Chains A and B, each alone.
Chain A
Amino acid sequence: MHVLAIDTSTPVVTAGIVELTTDAVRVTATSTVSRTRAHAELLGPEVRELLRRAPAGIAAIVCGVGPGAFTGLRVGMVTAAALGHALEVPVYPVCTLDAIAALAGPGPFLVATDARRKELYWAVYGADGTRVAGPDVGAPDMVRAVAAEHGITRILGDGVLDGEVLACDPLGLVHAAEDAVRANTEPAALTPLYLRRPDAKEPAGRKRVSR
């Protein structure tokens, strides 16, 4: 069966078709387009091209739900939701850090990515690769402290903490949701992991205009 994987929680538009056979997972078609802030423009044509390369259709969609600091995160999510609705296939949410962890081999390790504003998104994974802490957002020193607390020396992600560089890709996304996809279970709610409240200030008292 073919699965469409989408993630737009980073500056990169990540999309691909992944084939799940009885005993393997392999990428049939993948496209990773790096152009910051162009998710709304690029994702549609990319998905159309990918769907063309899966003529028998797709059985499911796997969608990265962040954490992500870009407005583009919502483009991937709304696209996945609409495609799932129109094509009548389930859409499985995956924490983007889990997708990175899924390809990292045995743990323990900490995955960290750029959250902008001098902060990082992070999650800690145990020896068997399952998430044991996070996802959360914090300053680099705090994240290093979390790693030390868990006795972790292996750090990976987009290079923000000078660790191994490993990106979210279609294979990782599908790996992270593989059990649910294979079992065709009811997907969890497609809810974004913002981890921050919206920037908004309540207005202070009235400003005087008279001098």
Chain B
Amino acid sequence: MIILGIESSCDETGVGIAELGADGSVRLLADQVASSVGQHARFGGVVPEIASRAHLEAMRPTMDRALAESGLALSDVDAFAVTRGPGLAGALMVGVGAAKAYALALGKPCYGVNHLAGHVAADTLQHGSLPSPCLALLVSGGHTQLLLVEDLAGKITELGSTIDDAAGEAYDKVARLLELPYPGGPPIDKLAAEGDPEAIAFPRGMTGPRDARHDFSFSGLKTAVARWVERAEAAGETVPVADVAASFQEAVADVLTMKAVRAAEEYGIGTLLISGGVAANSRISGLAAQRCAAAGIELRVPRPRLCTDNGAMIAALGAALVHAGVAPTAMEFGADPAMPVELISL
């Protein structure tokens, strides 16, 4: 079975093709992404209308490249899967419109799926099927979620999420503050390598005894960094940007991995999966590896290319749904910008 996945929830237009084996295994045949990230850089964040316009422009070329990479024709595709939400409404509509049109023209089923579940499914393309249960930490510019994954095709429960900024958003904001380029993740990670992570004790959000155990907060951290920089500037000091970057990154990594490992232990889960664009961050994956090893938990982190938004993860989730015998989505579905993670497909 050949499953083609389409992703357009934010600023990446992705088309991925996966082959589903009779035993439920998935093999990646194509993974093509067109990004409009460069067009958003000067705005310091994703501009929805710019992203939507770029999706429309990129959809056909990305589709052509994915088909060429796989060596398949459109007629070889057995089922389509597309991100229905959560994400930017206008952006989602482009992918949903395309997937529905391909499916109806070719008389093939179409699955409207959850982007967050897609991030979890991405790992099956690299490390095989997921043990049940497993815990997933999704970290990116758009999401910060701790998910209990009992069945990729049937049952995912959100244990916690950010109450304000996403982890990646905090990186972008701090990068702006330190006059680093957008997106902020890679330059902060690079700069942090030269700094002292213990130079400044930035606050660890949502870690007080009365705070929600599995939720996150990064807004206070961002403000604390801004205050610290302003104070240093007002005092006429040279801002030690590498130390600020390292200390900020340490605070993010500390909270994310502490909460993820603690949740895994509390729920008696032996596997932690980290995915999303921020999973590629060296300190977050490094500290997670250290803490998981100490707690006897298996850590799975897909390669960076699979962590960021792409169509391959949507194809992988589609494959899991097909394998589980889940009914495809009726043709009447639209985009669902606030699709809850519990809803894996419609």
Contact = CB atoms under 8 A, between A and B. Distances in A.
Contacts of B49: 198-200
B101 A44 contact: yes
A199 B52 CA distance: 12
A131 interface: no
Contact of A78 (B42, B74, B94, B227): B94
Contact of B105 (A86, A201, A202, A203): A86
A81 interface: yes
A208 B231 CA distance: 11
Interface string B33-58: 00000000011100101101101100
Contacts of A198: 47, 49-50, 53
A210 B102 contact: no
A124 to B, nearest CB: 27
A41 interface: yes
A206 B177 contact: yes
Main secondary structure of the interface of A (DSSP, over half): helix
B213 to A, nearest CB: 28
Nearest to B67: A85
Contact of A82 (B92, B97, B227, B230): B97
Interface in A171-211: 192, 194, 198-203, 206, 208-210
A194 B54 CA distance: 13
B332 interface: yes
Given A81-B60, A86-B74, A210-B230, A74 B94 contact: yes
B104 A203 contact: no
A57 to B, nearest CB: 11
Contacts of A75: 93-94, 96-97
Given A38-B334, A78-B56, A198-B47, A208 B230 contact: yes
Interface string A38-82: 111111110110010000000000000000000110111111111
Contacts of A72: 93
B98 interface: yes
A132 interface: no
B261 interface: no
Nearest to A197: B49
Contacts of B50: 198, 200
Contacts of B105: 51, 82-83, 86-87
Contacts of A199: 47, 49
Interface in B73-109: 74, 89-90, 92-94, 96-102, 104-106
Contacts of B47: 198-200
B222 to A, nearest CB: 9
Contact of A209 (B44, B226, B333): B226
B65 to A, nearest CB: 13
A78 B334 contact: no
B109 to A, nearest CB: 13
A39 B335 CA distance: 10
Nearest to A42: B332
Given A75-B93, A78-B101, A40 B230 contact: no
A139 B297 CA distance: 64
A79 B98 contact: yes
Interface residues of B, number: 42
A45 B42 contact: no
B190 interface: no
A86 B93 contact: no
Contact of B104 (A44, A76, A85): A44
Nearest to B48: A198
B101 A79 contact: yes
B279 to A, nearest CB: 27
A81 B53 contact: no
A38 B89 CA distance: 12
Nearest to B74: A86
B97 A79 contact: yes
The residue in B42, B60, B63, B104 that gathers the most chain A C-beta atoms within 10 A of its C-beta is B104
A72 B333 CA distance: 14
Contacts of B334: 38, 40-41
B104 A47 contact: yes
Contacts of A42: 332
B327 interface: no
B223 interface: yes
Given A41-B332, A78-B98, 5 more contacts: A44-B332, A78-B56, A79-B100, A198-B50, A209-B226
Interface of B: 42-44, 47, 49-50, 52-53, 55-56, 59-60, 63, 74, 89-90, 92-94, 96-102, 104-106, 176-177, 223, 226-227, 230-231, 234, 331-335
Ranked nearest first, the 9 interchain pairs of A and B with the lowest CB-CB distance are: A86-B105, A82-B101, A198-B49, A41-B334, A40-B334, A44-B100, A71-B90, A200-B47, A78-B97
21 contacts: A38-B334, A39-B97, A40-B334, A42-B332, A44-B100, A48-B104, A48-B331, A71-B89, A72-B93, A74-B94, A74-B97, A78-B59, A81-B60, A82-B99, A83-B105, A86-B105, A199-B47, A200-B49, A203-B43, A203-B44, A210-B227
